[in-house]
Amino acid sequence: AQSVTQLGSHVSVSEGALVLLRCNYSSSVPPYLFWYVQYPNQGLQLLLKYTSAATLVKGINGFEAEFKKSETSFHLTKPSAHMSDAAEYFCAVSDQTGTYKYIFGTGTRLKVLA
Amino acid sequence: GAGVSQSPSNKVTEKGKDVELRCDPISGHTALYWYRQSLGQGLEFLIYFQGNSAPDKSGLPSDRFSAERTGGSVSTLTIQRTQQEDSAVYLCASSTRWTSGGEQYFGPGTRLTVT
């Protein structure tokens, strides 16, 4: 069965500092991986996705993620945090048994300190 | 263009009452998903519709939950005899492709509170 683990339910960074949100997956087949962001009282917005093309994926708002098969990881990074990045971030893997439903990690709430 | 819409945005109901939650997917999207987001359980899959195929109901937590999708478009999630543990945000998503890699577009959700 596929699963996703996000280390750190809460992460705080200073404005301008590097953002690193961790995601590890478990999958018996090549995975399709996604990062979504959720702002308060809103739905989920896609940041980026990995679908077996380039291992370094660039997304919106300056975020990127690198797929590392040897480490079964898909960590999300941003070189310089902005106050507007404060939100909850979810990593997800797409089930590949037919429905392609998402299996989500538990989420990481990012706080950006002035 | 228009995104996924859900109504109502908030619903407060008494324990034991039935509720209906509505989802309007993006036009042309053949796949539709319902998820539930709650404090204790995180984000969990409920049900999936794809075209005219039989839905995948494997995520529905009990037989009090049901969903339908009319005309391959609008979907309604119904919860009968609501319980306090049903309190959560119910998210709907649609996708243009049901093949791997097709990202899902989420609506703003319906916040259900059962008192």
> Which residue, B10, B25, B37, B17, is CA-closest to B78?
B17
What dihedral angle (degrees, nearest 10) is formed by the CA atoms of B9, B15, B20, B23? 40
CA distance B40 to B36: 11
Please give the angle made by the CA atoms of A80, A83 and A89, to the nearest 5 degrees.
Answer: 80
CA–CA distance, B28 with B19 (Å, rounded to integer): 27
DSSP state of B115: -
SS3 A17: coil
Q: How far is B5 from chain A (nearest CA, A)?
A: 10
User: Do B100 and A51 lie within an 8 Å CB cutoff?
Assistant: yes
Q: Do A99 and B48 touch (CB under 8 A)?
A: yes
A52: Cβ contacts below 8 Å, ≥ 6 apart: A30, A32, B101
Q: Do B109 and A49 touch (CB under 8 A)?
A: no
Mind listing the pLDDT tens digit of every residue in chain B (115 residues)?
A: 589 999 999 999 999 999 999 999 999 898 999 999 998 778 999 999 988 888 999 999 999 999 999 887 999 999 999 999 999 999 999 998 655 567 899 999 999 999 9
Q: What is residue B34's three-state secondary structure? A: strand
- A52 chain-B contacts, CB cut-off 8 A: 101
pLDDT in tens, A51-105: 877 889 999 999 999 999 999 999 999 999 999 999 999 999 987 777 788 999 9
